[in-house]
Amino acid sequence: MDSFNPSCLPAETYAVFVVSTMGQGDPPDPMKDFWKYLRRKHLGAQWLERLHYAVFGLGDSSYAKYNFPAIMLDQRLFDLGADRIIQKGLGNDQDNSGCEGALDPWLQSLWKSLNQKNSSLLPRISDATHPNLNTLGDAKVEVIYYSAPQDAAISDPKMLIERSRSMSPALKCHNEGEPQFMLQMVTNQCLTKGNSDRDVRHFELEDRCSPISYQVGDVLEILPSQNPSAVDNFIKRCKLDPECYITIQAKGGDKLSKGSPMNSFMDPVKLKTFVALTMDVTSASPRRYFFEVMSYFATDENEKEKLQYFTSPEGRNDMYSYNQKENRNVLEVLQEFPSVHMPFEWLVQLTPPLKKRAFSISSSPLVHPNQIHLTVSIVSWHTPLKRTRQGLCSTWLAGLCPDEENIIPCWIQRGSLPPPRPSIPLVLIGPGTGCAPFRAFVEERAAQSVAEPTAPVLFFFGCRNQDSDFLYKEFWLSHAQEQGVLSLKKGGGFFAAFSRDQPQKVYLQDKIREQAGRVLNMLCSEEAMIYVAGSSTRMPADVSAALEQVLCQQGGFPKKDVEGWLTKLKMGGRFIIETWS
Q: What is the DSSP string of 386-427?
A: --EEE-HHHHHHHTPPTTSS--EEEEEE--SSPPPPTTS-EE
Strands 83-84 and 141-146: unpaired
The reply to whether 265 falls in a domain is: no
The reply to whether 50 falls in a domain is yes
What pLDDT does residue 349 have? 95
3-state secondary structure 131-186: CCCCCCCCCCEEEEEECCCCCCCCCCHHHHHHHHHHCCHHHCCCCCCCCCEEEEEE
Any domain includes 250 = no
From 69, 103, 129, the end of a domain falls on 129
Q: How many domains does the chain have?
A: 2
The CATH number given to whatever domain includes residue 87 is: 3.40.50.360
Q: Which of 63, 98, 129 is the last residue of a domain?
A: 129
In a domain, 342, yes or no: no
Q: Structural domain of residue 529, as residue ranges? A: 426-580
pTM equals 0.89
The strand pairing partners of 83, in sequence order, are 52
Does residue 316 lie within any of the structural domains? no
Does 561 reside within a domain? yes
CA-closest candidate to residue 453, choices 478, 473, 424: 424
* Residue at which a domain ends, from 129, 146, 179: 129
Q: Is 513 in contact with 552 (CB distance < 8 Å)?
A: no
Give the CATH number of the domain where residue 457 resides: 3.40.50.80
Q: Check: CB of residue 410 under 8 Å from CB of residue 506.
A: no
With contact defined as beta carbons under 8 Å apart, do 352 and 339 qualify? no
Cβ 358 vs Cβ 219: under 8 Å: yes
* 267 contacts: CB under 8 Å, gap ≥ 6: 150, 151, 163, 247
Residue 377 lies in a domain: no
What are the beta bridge partners of residue 5?
none
Say what the pLDDT of residue 263 is: 46
Radius of gyration of the chain (CA): 26
Per-residue pLDDT tens, the chain, 581 aa: give them.
888 999 999 999 999 999 999 877 889 888 999 999 999 999 999 999 999 999 999 998 888 789 999 999 999 999 999 999 999 999 998 887 888 889 989 998 999 898 887 766 565 555 555 555 567 888 999 999 997 665 545 678 899 999 999 999 888 766 678 899 999 999 999 999 877 789 999 999 999 889 999 999 999 999 999 999 999 999 999 999 999 999 998 886 444 433 344 444 468 999 999 999 999 999 999 999 999 999 999 999 999 999 999 998 889 889 999 999 999 999 999 999 999 999 999 999 999 999 999 999 999 999 999 999 999 999 999 999 999 999 999 999 999 999 788 899 999 999 889 999 999 999 999 999 999 999 999 999 999 999 999 999 999 999 999 999 999 999 999 999 988 999 999 999 999 999 999 999 999 999 999 999 999 999 888 789 999 999 877 888 899 999 999 999 988 999 889 989 998 898 889 999 988 87
Is residue 484 assigned to a domain? yes
Q: Which segments of 33-111 are extended strands (E)?
A: 52-59, 83-84, 89-92
Burial class of 400 by CB neighbour count within 10 A (0 to 12, 13 to 18, 19+): middle
The DSSP annotation for 491-543 comes to: T-EEEEEETTSSSS---HHHHHHHTHHHHHHHHTSSS-EEEEEEESSSHHHHH
Sign of CA pseudo-dihedral 152, 153, 156, 159: positive
Query: Which of 51, 114, 116 has the alpha carbon at shortest distance from 77?
Result: 51
Q: Round to whole Å and give the CA distance between 346 and 117.
A: 34
